[in-house]
Every structure is written in structure tokens, then in C-alpha cells.
A and B are shown apart, each in its own frame.
Chain A
Amino acid sequence: MSVDVSKVASTNGTTPATAKGGNTAGAIATWADERLGLGTAMKKNIRKVFPDHWSFMLGEIALWSFVVVLLTGVFLTLWFDPSMTEIQYDGSYDPLRGVHMSSAMASTLDISFDVRGGLLMRQMHHWGAMIFIASMMIHMLRVYLTGAFRKPRELNWIIGCLLLLLGTIEGFTGYSLPDDLLSGTGVRAADGFMKASPVVGSYMSFFLFGGEFPGDSIIPRFYAMHILLIPGLLLALVAAHMLLLVYHKHTQWPGPGRTEQNVVGYPMLPVYAAKAGGFFFIVFGTIAMMGGLFSINAVWKYGPYDPSKVTAGSQPDWYMGWPDGLLRIIPAWETHIWGVNFSWNVILPILVMPPLMLMILMALPFIESWITGDKREHHLLQRPRNAPTRTAIMVALMTFYGLSWAAGGNDIIAIKMHLSINQITYFLRGAVFIGPVIAFIITRRWCISLQRHDEGKLLHGYESGVLVRSPEGGYAEKHLPLPEGKAYTLTARDDDPRPETAEEIEASGVTGRHLRLRKLRARLARVFFSDNVQKPTAEELHEAQHHAEHELHELESQIAAGPNRHGPAEH
């Protein structure tokens, strides 16, 4: 018996093998490795495994669009002049020549009309930013709906929420920089929001603007935030987000061979690096194509900001649309107490709701683990249907978001769909409250139905599409057993924990506040898991398999007997 030993090291030496002979590339690599320790660092990471699924690439869209935004942003800083010094425009765009405007606006026009490739870069920067925030959101939805936020990933969830917040602020400051009519209208709105804060509002506004609105320092201040402070924070948090991703390892869908202890997928090199690297170019190309084809923020049409001017269709970028929508539909509620004005119509939609929504978002993993009492580590994902209440909570939040969002475009909806803006407003006032409840109920029942469908497939097989006519003349569709791999995947989930009963809690001897909390928790857990379908037991599955085999035999003998036993024999 001969063993191939050509691949086995010939020594027991402790120094790593190095390239022999006059290979230049090898010599350079050795030189670098001896000084930088690249080999050791890469040995582990170069083969790091990532599971493959399209939904795992949504965060990548965010990462790559962020890179595009950074690159195009650097280009724009070379020409943008963040100054509110008033000058007379003298560039290439005729209809604004001679008009007084800030240097910021004039340099934005110069980038658009006089810098080669400038308009493309501006539009790519803006489209990239829109895609960046949108992809963060769909990534977040994926993480939530598959339960990827569970222990040990709760902190990464929080970092993700902070990234979303910072991305939004970054977007708003960028929207404000060109100092065009839309920018100024947005900044004026922000000024109003700050001033709506009771007591301290006007101080905050004067502090931010360096005096009365608009002053001449808001653009330079936003600029510092936009190109230095927030991108720095974003980069740091993106780095932390990804380091934690590497440290936790990526979650994966359950399936044969996949456990809580392993990751099944492709190694970083050569497969995943090629896929991810290729995706970068696709994202870059898509954003470049959008920048080249679709107009975004045509500042020359808005003209320079002037507090006396405003335009119909003044909207924020999409990610600020939902608070704007709430602002549009809230009734004009105000109270005056001791000479202090409380503008609830501004405070509630703008100063209360966005921070509240963010806090709800950040708290979701903790609320869920408190209710379910699940403190275990999870690396296998859950299908949205297998956590019906969780899925329904997110869909309810999405419905609230979507309706508020629609309210932000109520004027455009009115003119494009020939509706009355008043009726849209009245409808949405009710819908933002009722819609999420309806969405919650429908989603939850839908998920449970899907669970039942899965159970049916496991116990009775899948619908084969084979119709069999019985000797009596009745027709029935044959159900055939699922392939073992599929059956495994469907059953590779935990049973829901059984919530404590009131008697158990009483018996545990806790008293006072703790008792009430535990009872509340148990009650919430019962609601959370109620009506869920648990996976079949092993005995049930065996029995089902037995039955299925019998069915299969029967079908096979029927097929063997031929289809025309009861019909004409020959054609």
C-alpha cells in the first residue's frame, strides 16, 4: 500500500516553509511577510467562510454605496466652497447669470456646469446617498425578520441603528449644503423644529445658526459636520459593525450539515472576495448609471435660497419623508401656558416621533428576549413565518412608516392621482393608527397559515400534481413525501418555549414588584407565541413517512398498471 507523501512536510521544523529558488514574487512576499506578519494574519482570514444567500448581500449594497459616496464626495470637496458670502453668479448657466447668491450655491452651479464630470459626480453622490440609506433599511429588515439580531448580535443591531441615524443626519446636512431653494427651505424647517422645543428652542436655534436665521455660519458648520464629523463616526461604526460581523461569524439558514457551531459557505478567497468585489463594481455601475441618466436635485432650477421664496413640491429626501408626512397630517394643536408656547403639531411629529421610533428599533431585540426569556446564542436564522408575532410587529412598524411616508408626498399624490389633498390627509390621520393594527393581524395569521402549510408538507407530503382516478371514478391528488434534505430544513428549528403559568410563578416564591413583572412577562409570552404551530414530533414524522411510503408504492403500482385500464386500450 503506497501513500502519497508528496504534499506532506518533510521536516518537523518550527519555521514556516518559504519559497525556494529564484522566484521574484516569492522573494518579495517573503520579505514582506517577515516584516509585516501577513501570512499569519491572512492564514485564518483568507479562508474565512461566508454563507451564500441573496439576502446576506443587502448590507453589502450599503457598504459599497457608502464607498461610492465617499469617493464622489472627495471629488466634490475639491470645488465646493462652503461659504455664505454673497456674490454675483457669473458662470455658464445663463438664466442665473447676474443673480446674487452665496458662494456655496455658486460653486455648486460651477460643479454642475463648469467642472468636467462635476454634474455626474454630484448626481452620483446624491443617488449614492439615497441608495446608502435605503439599503441600510432593507438590510435592517432582513436582520430583524430572520432573527439575526438575537444574542450575541444585539450590540451590532444597535450599531446598525446608529448608522441609520447618522446616515440620515449626514443626508440632511448634505441636502442643505448647496444653499439652493430646497436646501434653504429644509434648513428653515429645521430651524422651526428647534424653535418648537419649549423654553430652550430659540436658544438652540441661535446657537446653531450663530444668531438669527439664516445668518452666515450654518453652511460652514454643516460642511464640517458633513465631511468630517459624521463621515468619521460613520466609518468608525462601519468598522465596528464589520469587526463584530467577523467576530460573531455570519448567521446562516438551517439545512443539512448546518449547525449552531459551524458556518457552511464559501471561503473568502477565491470565491467570496470575487463575489463581493464584483458586487462593488455592480453597485458602482448602477449608481453611475443613475447619476448619468436621472436628474436629481437640479439646483439651477431651484435657484439660490431666499427666505421670501418657496416652491410647490418642497420635500425632504425620502428618508426624512415620514416625519415630514406626520407633520403634514397632524392637526394644528397648540397650548399656551405661562407665556410658553407648546406647538404639539411640531413637537409630536418631529421632536418626539423620530427619536421614539429609533428607541423602539434599538430596544426590539431586548424587548423580545425579555418576553421570550430566550438568552441563548443563535447562529441559525429563523424564517419570518416561524416567529409570527415578531414578523407582524415589523410589518406593523413598516405600515406606520409607509403611511407616514405617503403623507409626506400628499401633494404629489393629490395632483398625480387627481385626489383632494384634504381627503388624503383625513384618510391618513386614521390610517396611521388603524393600518398598523390591521397589518399586524393579517401578517400574524398569514405567518401561522404558512407554518400550517409547512406542517402539512411534513406530515402529508407535497402536492405532486399527479391526479389519480380511483376505480370508483373519484379523483384525488397524490401527495408525495418531501426529500429528506427539505424535511430536515423545515424541522431544523426550535420549539417555542412554554411560557410560565401563573401557578408556577406563584410557587416560585417571588413577591411584590418582581411577581407582577414575571406575571406580565408570562402573559406577554403567551400572546407572543399563541397559535404558533410547533414542528411535528419524531413519532409523528415517522408515522407520516410510513404512510407516505405506502402512498408512493400505491402510486407506482397504479402507474405500472397503465393509465388506460378504464379507458380505450389503443388509439
Chain B
Amino acid sequence: MLVCGLLLTGGLYAALAPAQADTDQSQAELVKDGRELFLVGCAFCHGQNGEGVLTQGGSQYGPALTDVGAAAVDFQVGTGRMPMAQPGSQAPRKEVVYTKEETAALSAFVASLGTGPAIPDKELYSTEGMSDKELEELVARGGQIFLANCTACHNFEGSGGAMPRGGYAPKIRGVDSKHIYEAMLTGPQSMDTFSDGNIPPEDKKAVIAYLNKLDESPSYSGFTLGGLGPVSEGIIAWVGGIGLLVGFAVWIAAHTTRSSKKKDEAAA
């Protein structure tokens, strides 16, 4: 946290210092825009000040957003999970509703409500400018971190897995690097929060590099059958393999020593 805080403060200072007054003003406008969007699209479930809404049964209708930070909003809105189309066991990834600017405004507004992680800077997750050797080492390390922390729910190649009561760990292949970083940082829905103390930023970058490497690599071994492991392999063995071979058995048995049926009939 300390390192992160220092980095963040330093980074922000470096970025914002020369035009302090301007950014302050635009930040305030952004929050104001965000609030308006929030009141229309989010407040119904999350409350007008993001304080959350309880159901009559005492469970959460929409959780409080006072300390989730900008990263959580950027993830949830940026991947289309929010706003939800309907209540359910889990908010699915779907078409994104808000534009980039609107998402930024919403993030700024929610961030203004309390504490919470900010949207990560690009250098935290981007591997641009790394040498091949560095990248290779990063990917190898990321693979091991991925297998130790992520595969238990998301499956060995990020194809996703089941969670209790209709929940699921979604497929995480082909997801924007920033969103993967934010997911680790904020722990959306049933996911754990992997804070920077838990998986340091450098390791988060390694995991993202590994996932990107998987996306870039050919499958090497043919069709991956959804990358789901032995279940889809078993289905292929039975439906494809046995199905085809039984078909051949029928074909062979249907043919006698005579070369064609017509000849057979002519001879009779």
C-alpha cells in the first residue's frame, strides 16, 4: 500500500503539477458529469450517493460504492457488466453501454465518494519496450503465478469455471489488459481481491503478459475444443471417434464381395 501510495502520489504530482488549476477544474466537471450519469443509470440500485440499497430482506440490492474506487467502476462499466440488464446470480460481461468519456466521468464521480484504487496507468500492465529476453522471463513467471492463483477458478487456459449457485469465473482470454489488472485489483463479484501486497504490480503485469502470450500463441496441438479439459475431449472421443468408426463398421458390413448392388441384382 505504501509503495503504491507513494507511486500514485508521485505519479499524479508529476502528471498534474504543471497544470494544477486546469486539471482541478476539469476534474470537478468530470465528477459533476459523472454524478448526473450516476443518478440516471446507477442510483436506482446503488443509491443516490452510492451508499447502496438494501432489500426488505436485508440483503443488498446494489452494494455501496463509497470505497470501491475508480478502478472498480472502470472495470464494471468498461466491460459492460454494469449497468446490469437484470438482477441475477452474476452480472455477465456484455456490450458496453457507456462511452469512454462517460465511463471516465462515472469513475471520477465514484472515486470522489471515498477511497479505493485508481485506474491503473498503462505502464503497470503494458509490456511495451521490454526486450525479448525480459519478456520471456516475465511470461514464464506469470504462468506460474497464474497457475498458483487464477486457474483454480478460471481454468488452466483462462476458459472459465463454475462457482456456487449459478455463479462462474468468466473466460478471461481476449480481455483488455487494463481490465484484467483492474479485476485483480478490485476483486469484482465473487472474485478475491489481489491487492498489491498479495500480488505486487510487477507480478500482475507478469500474469497479464502470460495471458497475452497464450492469446498470441498458436494452439500447437490442433483445435482446443474450448480449452475445457477432459470433458470436451471425452465428448469428441465418443461423438467424433466412436461415432465415425461405428459409421465405418456399418459401411463395411453393408458391402459384400460383390462390387456393387446392381451387379448383384443382375446376377440374381
Residues of A near any B CB (own CB < 8 A): 52-58, 60-61, 94-99, 112-113, 119, 123, 127, 130-131, 134-135, 138, 181-182, 266, 271, 275, 278-279, 282-283, 286-287, 290, 292-298, 300-303, 306, 308-318, 321, 408-412, 414-415, 418-423
Contacts and interface: CB of A to CB of B under 8 A. Distances in A.
Interface string B126-164: 000000000011011001100110011111110111111
A309 B137 contact: no
B156 A301 contact: yes
Given A279-B249, A421-B162, A298 B136 contact: no
A190 to B, nearest CB: 15
Nearest 10 A/B pairs, CB to CB:
A312-B161, A318-B234, A420-B166, A295-B221, A313-B229, A130-B237, A411-B162, A54-B253, A57-B249, A311-B151
Nearest to B142: A95
Contacts of B245: 61, 131, 135, 282-283, 286
A275 B252 contact: yes
Given A294-B225, A321-B230, A412-B228, 18 more contacts: A54-B252, A57-B253, A61-B249, A98-B137, A130-B234, A130-B241, A181-B156, A182-B230, A279-B249, A298-B157, A298-B221, A298-B224, A301-B227, A309-B147, A412-B162, A421-B162, A421-B163, A421-B166
A56 B246 CA distance: 10
State which size class the interface on B falls in.
35 or more
Contact of B241 (A60, A127, A292, A412): A127
B231 A294 contact: no
B164 A421 contact: yes
Contact of B222 (A135, A287, A293, A409): A293
A280 to B, nearest CB: 11
Interface in B201-233: 210, 213-214, 217, 219-225, 227-233
Contacts of A317: 230, 233-234
A298 B248 contact: no
B10 interface: no
B221 A296 contact: yes
Contact of A312 (B140, B160, B244): B160
B222 A295 contact: yes
A378 B231 CA distance: 40
A414 B231 CA distance: 13
B156 A53 contact: no
B261 interface: no
B140 A303 contact: no
Contacts of B152: 309-312
A294 B236 contact: yes
A420 B151 CA distance: 20
B263 interface: no
A119 B220 contact: yes
Interface string B113-129: 00000000000000000
Nearest to A409: B231
Contacts of B223: 293-295
B215 to A, nearest CB: 12
B238 interface: yes
B242 A99 contact: no
B70 interface: no
A431 to B, nearest CB: 19
7 contacts: A283-B245, A286-B241, A287-B241, A303-B144, A409-B231, A411-B161, A412-B231
Nearest to B217: A95
Nearest to A134: B242
Contacts of B147: 181, 302-303, 306, 309, 311
A318 B233 contact: yes
B170 to A, nearest CB: 9
B220 A313 contact: no
